[in-house]
Amino acid sequence: WLIDPSRAIPATLAVLVVTCPCALSLATPAVLAAATADLARRGVLVAHSDAFESLTKATHVLWDKTGTLTHGLVRVEEVRSLRDEDAERSLALANALERMSEHPIARAFLAAGAATSTATDVVVTAGAGLEGRVDGRLLRIGTLDFARGLSVSAARARHAEAATAAESWVYLGDERGLLAGFRLADPLRAEAVGCVQQLAQLGLASEIVSGDAAAAVARIAARSGIERFEARLTPQAKLARLKSLQDTGAVVVGVGDGINDAPLLQAANVAVAMGRGSALAQTSADLILVRDSLDQLPEIVRIARQAQRIVKQNLAWSIAYNLAALPLAALGLVPAWLAAIGMSLSSVFVVLNATRVTRRTTTGATPRWTDARPAGAA
């Protein structure tokens, strides 16, 4: 209006076109869409895209053990009778109870033999075990303290603990005390060591928080290269450890698969669940490893960091374009048709730049995932 009133309307139209926030509004969603699609091809389901931002700041990883660092293909290696029940009967009773559980340990008992009875009134105590009635008897299976109840003598408890301190054991008991102990074995995932090492190179310290016996957790920690670990933790204790890290300013990634891990995953800054984990764990997760393998976890962190860099580039470009073009349009130096072309090109640039997030891989190509089950898996 001040320079040439006859050009006021075209100049106003050009200003409106230039300030159309297409590029600015596409800057972040385009990158997140590209990253989500790339991870899907890798066998990673993104449930909450805001996890990308937290991943870029992550400092710690809290691992569950069974079914996460290990395959979860637990096997019953030995049955030790502790009272009058023989090994076969003890295994059948344990099988009846464990049929009501989704924990990976339950699969070991189901694979070890068929149940001859059906459990009723089953109650799951997270981090401890199961309690229910089999053939009219009240039975418990789980940790030593949970299985023995209050009726077993302190001498027998100390003897049982001393005899099995070097192994990973689950116990069966009734109202009179312990019935049997089951020695379990669960192999470490082949990719676990490399995953932990790569995460350490990316600046993420690893720690195991497990409800299993200390000896079993120590063995897995040593084999996977994790220095810090805690064993025999209840879900509440896992959550307390998470909170203690977060209180120091740490940004924590929680990785788990079981019902016991759900509180940890719910409170973690980023929650990662295994593909064959429980439904409750997956519901609490931001990311689900559909392929049930840890090999893509370091790459998820790299993609998140690359995505953040590209988002910043897109935002910088969009803002710079608007700041440069707006004064020219206001002065009548940019016609509306040219402003429309510039606006369209800026949006195209943002979208094309967003696709660069899929090129950031360790192998130079984006692998397509297949359902690669570990040996021995059903």
Distance between CA atoms of 207 and 230, rounded to whole angstroms? 8
Residues 6+ apart with CB under 8 A from 134: 93, 96, 97, 117, 118, 119, 120
From 4, 38, 64, 145, the catalytic residue: 64
Residue 64 appears among annotated catalytic residues:
yes
Q: Which residues are catalytic?
A: 64
